[in-house]
Chain A
Amino acid sequence: MSRHQLLSKAAAIVAALMCSPFAIAEMAPLDDAGMAEVSGRGGIYLSGDISINELGGPIQNDYFGRCNEQDKKCGARLAYQLKEGGGWMVLDEIRGMFAFEGLTLRVRSIDSGFGGDGELFNRDVIELGLPDTVRFNDVQFKIAASNTPRPTDPGFMQTDIFDVEMQGDVLMQGNLLVFPEGNP
């Protein structure tokens, strides 16, 4: 499997995970000629950067603080409880920055192309055109388990399980096509 095919496959898998139970057809990116056959126009093209808790969050207490305070946590924190009265799964110290260029959003009609599959497909889809490169800069979070949802709750205890840190570029090529399937 070539690198290009691998990436296309990866995009489709990501789409399936994100959009399940929507059906995701296995499709290849269009070249310029293919795009010329697409009917319908419009949509938007997005570029930019997004940072999470670059300097810290809005809470200032014994647990949370600014990122230059060594004894405080400055990231975001998500806690959720899967069993009534049970413990809490935690994603803690969530921080980082993403930058991308050329994420597109529009609605397309596909009734041709794709090696003949398009004509059989013949329906409208939401197309998310993936940016070539997404740059991750100091993206990090921590998986943990806790006995309370808030770290400031009485008797708070937490067990950190592992940390995740991401750095560098991720190539995301092709399009993510989302369309309804099944009984609405």
Chain B
Amino acid sequence: MTKVIGLPKACAALMLAATGVPGGVAWADMQSLDDGELSRIQGQSGITLEMDLQLSADRVSYYDDGRGAHLEGLKVGSSENPGQGAFHRTRIDIGADASLNLDYLVEDRRVEFSDIRLAGAPSVSMGGIFFDHSLQGTLSIREGGGVGGSGYTFDSAYTMTGGRLGYRTNGNSVFLDDITMNVEALGITLEQVGDTLELISENVTGNWKVGAIRFSDDPLIYGRATDASGAPLASYGGLEGDYRISSRTGIKAGGREGQGLRIDNETTIHSANFLYLDDGNALALRDITGEYRIYDLRIDVTNDNQGRPALGLTLGGLEGELAVGSVEVGPSGQSFGSVNLAFAFEDRAFNGRNYTNAVYLQGGGHQDAGAQGLRLAAEWSLSNADLSYTDNGNRVIVSGLQSWGQGDLTVNVTRNEIRNGTRFYDGLRIGFEDLSAGYRINGLRVGDENAPLQGGTELLLALGFYPAYEFDMDGHITLGAGGASGEGLTINSDIHVRNGKAAVVAAPYDEGAGEVPQKGLWLTEMTYDGHVRNMTVDVTEEGLAMATEEAWGTMDVGNVRVGTSDDGASFGRLRMQSYEKDSSALIRPGGAGDVCVGGSGSSAAACGALGGTWETRGDEGVSIAMAKVLAPAASDEKKNALLWETNRSVDGQGRPVNGSGTAILLNDIHTSDGGDFDGDGQDDNTYGIRTDLAVDVYPTRVIRTVDGVKRVEHPLGFAVQAQSSFKELSINNIDMIHPVGGAQTAVYGAVLQNVDIRANLTATPIP
């Protein structure tokens, strides 16, 4: 059976779904009741309808300007007893105010479709989705909208249990398991205002829980939480949350081109909490508030900018602000502090090119993964964002964050195999193809948004972020289920970066007098190949724990430039290779606490007596404990090495040719425990380089000279307490390389042993 639903009907279905009415009611085919069924209808105060609903459709299509999008293999039935109907009971009552009151119960219903396909690309599919649930709730509909007399007002409340929402490609699936949800939405109005269908929800409250997010690589395991042996499928962990929101949504006919849909929305988050749970340990975002406005979101069945058939979502703009009152980890709820993000996505020119915000959904995913998958041809323009972090009331704002980019993201659920020549891993694979992107930060502000713009963005390097970065990227990150033990994440990734321009030190791009080329210390003409194998991420009682089985990469910087990224003078080429095995990190809330700076002593009095300064940095902040185990060279690709090359010859376009100059090479740098203590014939290597960092935002001490007079000031900055130690760090050889004479070894080995470095540092942005 093929059904074609036109736009008005689709809108009506969308509206009913938003109010919690069981979706099957909208599309079910009516059948005549026999006498037995009729006898169960109770009609004293309305009527009661009971049915076992089983529905299937080969294809449900939506057409926009003659282009079709198809939902294929649509089925509605029982989730517990495949092939049978799902039980529905609806009590219908007409109130004294002429309202229609529905009291409904749905048991173990599964709504699924096997493929989402575009008519213009019939050979590939976006994948399939299934949704299992039981529902019990009420819906009251009465005449009269929010503004005028026309329209309707809805009161809805329902509880969903036994929920399961899955995405499936090529026989592999990822699904939210054991979903429970309670929603109350009273006084929702739906009415036509001019040419707009307006939906207003003044007060929607709810809570929800996802027991586990599971992965299955067995095509026979479909919509079940256990494998063939009855053991639970591997889990990414669970989710939990609650919210109170209000929103106003406008829906109009008309896409970006011809037919289609336009959506405008304003939403206010009055309160919300979000928890990620891993074996019972929570990473919690608490006291969330905010608001956002979506304007001129258009939905079309169209072609993307490369002419590929797609379901296009193009955005006029999105702006808003989101505040998280506390980011917590661990059973005691210790906090990192609070964060706030203000953002605006809108069309803007970067580097002389206009960028917009759009996603074009296509079928197929990665070309070697199979016919099912999702491809998102994306373009974005983050015209401005301010991200702030507050630690015990001390606030630092990363100001003027901008980002732009264009390229394809692919999404597939994959299993551990080599398929069509490409290596895949268990999990949700997010691929990057010809992604060309960039971001930049204008500077830091301390205290509030109106504080003067300052430098200091290079401090973000400590967190692994360049102050500015442009790159072309291919590769993937695959998120597998299960951590080091029990629930959690396992990450495998292969990333290739080309044409990279990364700032190590960067001045603002706009100091208030208009945009200027950013000056700084740049890594340009950069390529990077990075590989990670079996990196586990777990939320533990102590914090966020990461452990990496193996990671290796090569960063080849064509030029290290001072000045602008395009024409700054160059120090030459720098190539850094890294190879780690069994490295780990733990990120936990809480900074240094009480510190004796410049002295020693465990109390303020003892510290002061020994010449130190006692500082109370509070209970918030960030602590990081890392162990980087640098492995001995396994191959030319897998090793730790550093090469600096200068005096290169140039090609016909005047560009330096790597490998043509003179160079110094520090080869095969690795750690060791200082001997073979387990008798396996190789030096033990478990200690690595261990670093403990405690970072707080705290008033620092700065001496400024004004008119020849020194003045002590205490601006906010970053206070870092650090300890780094290693048992042994070796360099196998240091070579001098000449383009004609080849490599000559200058040092035949260097061994640094028994090192413990401790530091108390403050880093303050310079105005």
Contact = CB atoms under 8 A, between A and B. Distances in A.
B759 A126 contact: no
Nearest to A98: B759
Contacts of A125: 562
A124 B562 contact: yes
B700 A47 contact: yes
A182 B705 CA distance: 36
Interface centre among A22, A45, A99, A104 (most CB of B within 10 A): A45
A149 B751 contact: yes
Contacts of B690: 58
A43 B572 contact: no
A156 to B, nearest CB: 13
B675 A152 contact: yes
B171 interface: no
Nearest to B645: A184
A106 interface: yes
Return the 10 tightest CB-CB contacts between A and B, nearest first. Answer: A42-B455, A57-B754, A48-B761, A184-B570, A124-B563, A80-B750, A180-B569, A149-B751, A184-B572, A45-B764
Given A77-B753, A107-B507, A182-B646, A40 B519 contact: yes
**Residue of B519, B656, B727 with highest tally of chain A CB at under 10 A:** B519
Contacts of B756: 52-58, 76
Contact of B559 (A21, A78, A184): A184
A32 B707 contact: yes
Contacts of B457: 42
A59 B748 contact: no
A180 B761 contact: no
Nearest to B455: A42
A66 B15 CA distance: 72
Contact of A32 (B521, B573, B705): B705
A84 interface: yes
Contact of A44 (B455, B559, B646): B455
Contacts of B702: 45, 47, 102
Contact of A42 (B675, B755, B759, B765): B765
A4 interface: no
Contacts of B561: 180
Interface in B713-760: 717, 720, 725-728, 745-760
Given A58-B756, A179-B569, A80 B562 contact: no
Interface of B: 443, 454-459, 505-508, 511, 519-521, 559, 561-563, 568-573, 597-598, 646-648, 656, 661, 674-675, 687, 690, 700-703, 705-708, 717, 720, 725-728, 745-767
Contacts of A136: none
Interface residues of A, number: 61
A174 interface: no
B694 to A, nearest CB: 13
Contact of B753 (A64, A83, A179): A64
A44 B443 CA distance: 11
Given A44-B455, A58-B687, A101-B701, A50 B757 contact: yes
A101 B278 CA distance: 44
A115 B727 CA distance: 51
A17 to B, nearest CB: 16
B647 A41 contact: no
A50 B758 contact: yes
Given A46-B763, A180-B569, A81 B747 contact: yes
B569 A183 contact: no
Contact of B725 (A42, A57, A86): A57
6 contacts: A42-B455, A48-B759, A80-B747, A107-B520, A179-B562, A184-B571
A43 B754 CA distance: 34
A47 B701 contact: yes
Interface string A73-91: 1111111111111100000
B749 A58 contact: no
Nearest to B705: A32
A106 B506 CA distance: 8
A3 B649 CA distance: 45
Given A44-B458, A152-B675, A101 B519 contact: no
Contacts of B597: 48-49
Contacts of B705: 32
Contacts of A59: 674, 727-728, 753-754
A155 to B, nearest CB: 15
A150 B746 CA distance: 20
Interface string A1-44: 00000000000000000000110000000001000000011111
A42 B559 contact: no
Contact of A54 (B508, B598, B758): B758
A106 B518 CA distance: 13
Contacts of B559: 184
B458 A105 contact: yes
A158 interface: no
Given A40-B507, A44-B456, A180-B561, 16 more contacts: A21-B646, A40-B519, A42-B455, A42-B507, A43-B765, A50-B758, A57-B727, A58-B726, A73-B754, A78-B752, A79-B750, A102-B703, A105-B505, A106-B766, A123-B569, A183-B646
A137 to B, nearest CB: 10
A125 B519 CA distance: 10
A124 B568 contact: yes
Contacts of A99: 598
Given A48-B762, A184-B571, A184-B573, A41 B507 contact: yes
Contacts of A140: none
Nearest to A58: B725
Nearest to A129: B766
B696 to A, nearest CB: 13
Interface centre among A41, A81, A125, A184 (most CB of B within 10 A): A184
Given A32-B705, A107-B521, A43 B745 contact: no
A104 B704 CA distance: 12
A167 interface: no
A81 B750 CA distance: 6
A154 to B, nearest CB: 11
A126 B598 CA distance: 28
A59 B672 CA distance: 11
A87 B745 CA distance: 16
Contacts of B725: 57-58
Given A53-B755, A124-B569, A41 B761 contact: no
A48 B597 CA distance: 8
B753 A43 contact: no
Contacts of B459: 44
Interface string A170-184: 000000001111111
A84 B745 contact: yes
Given A123-B569, A150-B674, A76 B646 contact: no
A43 to B, nearest CB: 4
Nearest to A51: B758
A82 B761 CA distance: 36
